[in-house]
Amino acid sequence: MKLTRILVLGLACLAMTAGSAKAGNLGVANLFNEFIFTDSTRQNVDSWGLVAVGNNATFNNFTVASHVNSGSGYSSYSAIIGNNLTGTQLNVGGSVPTNVLYGNQKTIGAVYNNSGGTSVNGTLPSFFTDAQSYLNALSDTLKNEAINGQTVENGFGQFILTAQGSTALQVFDVNGDHLSQPSTNGFSITANDPNQTIVINVSGTNVSMTNFGISLSGVDQTHVLFNFYEATTLTLTNMGFPGSILAPHATVVGNSGQVNGTLIANSLSGTIETHSYAFSGNLPGISPVPEPSTFALVATAGLFAIVPGARRRLLK
């Protein structure tokens, strides 16, 4: 009887934590720094926040949850891997114990959990498929929103985006083919109110952005979303993104630089860093926002290890 109560309590804690997915228009992905539908290969870099990988993760000296602390959080997981966890080394940072969940095999050379926690073999049924369906629909919805922001290409390789009026949602259209030109050397975004939500819809199936700055005025990175709605390949080289990236169909290759927000992609590789500035803008509603009904974790081993850490934490 006592054993059953412990199991139920642990699953209930996880389910309640999953409910916080409603807090952001990116659904459950809003609570992660990296949310990848299929495979991720990361090396010699870190993610300040939590990482979710739908299929195989190959981590070679990759650090997750380096800025997770006792003041805030998601659940007890710093990394959720849908299938196999391979590579040489995964480092789990932060100041509180968090666990690594993997769905199939763990053949990685070492997992160093600096604040305690463990590796758990188990699955979250429909976690990734539900989120992927929602995020695909969100990307499609955003690309069809009426353009009300002004985008100017000034002829000197600079994109100047300026909000028009006081409308809360400011939507911009940027040509990804133009953005990919070697002559591109600057990108600025100006809002009229710090609470405005900035959505930049970027066209193009193959988008490459290399070595130029993106500046913000009148708004911060938590209110900015880049929607690469048709990209199948997105290459980022020495780029700093002040905002979140929604690229649900894209193979993203990140060569140095950083994303100050959530990075959502079909697959990810490279050395780009991700910093945990959760998106807090307001987007058009997509119903329903998925809450993985599962947080009924089906674990094959290590189930009890997750129970003590299941209280709610936020990312700083």
Q: What is the pLDDT of residue 109?
A: 97
Q: What is the pLDDT of residue 29?
A: 95
Please state, in angstroms and as integers, the Cα–Cα distance from residue 39 to each residue in 30, 134, 194, 269, following that order: 19, 19, 36, 8
Residues of the chain with pLDDT > 70: what percent? 81
Q: Does 288 sit behind a cis peptide bond, omega within 30 degrees of 0 on the bond before it?
A: yes
The 3 state secondary structure assigned to 93-117 is CCCCCCEEEECCCECCCEEEEECEC
Q: What is the pLDDT of residue 97?
A: 85
CB atoms within 10 A of CB 95: 14
- CA-nearest of 8, 77, 90, 5 to 41 is 90
Cβ atoms of 292 and 15 closer than 8 Å: no
Report pLDDT digits (tens) over 255-285. Answer: 999 999 999 999 999 999 999 999 999 998 7
Q: Does 290 sit behind a cis peptide bond, omega within 30 degrees of 0 on the bond before it?
A: no
Strand 158-162 with 150-153, pairing:
antiparallel
How far is 50 from 224, CA to CA, in rounded Å? 20
- CA-nearest of 230, 225, 162 to 199 is 225
User: H helices within 166-283, ranges in order?
Assistant: 176-179
Single-letter amino acid, residue 310:
A
Q: What is the pLDDT of residue 70?
A: 61
- Region 27-46: mean pLDDT is 96
> Is the model's pLDDT at 200 over the cut of 70?
yes
- CA-nearest of 98, 105, 102 to 50 is 98
CB atoms within 10 A of CB 109: 12
Q: What is the pLDDT of residue 154?
A: 92
Q: Which strand (E) or helix (H) includes residue 134?
A: helix 127-143
- Region 75-100: mean pLDDT is 92
Report pLDDT digits (tens) over 49-74. Answer: 999 999 999 999 999 999 987 644 44
287: CB partners within 8 A, 6+ apart = none
Report pLDDT digits (tens) over 13-31. Answer: 333 333 333 335 899 999 9
Burial 218-243 (b: 16+ CB within 10 A, else e): ebebbbbbbbbbbbebbbbbebbbbb
Q: Quick check: helix, strand or coil at residue 316?
A: coil
Mean pLDDT score across all residues of the chain: 85
> What pTM, to 2 d.p., does this model score?
0.86
Q: Note the Cα 313 to chain centre separation in Å.
A: 17
As to burial, measured by CB atoms within 10 angstroms (0-12 exposed, 13-18 middle, 19+ buried), residue 71 is exposed
**DSSP per residue, 274-290:** EE-----------SSPP
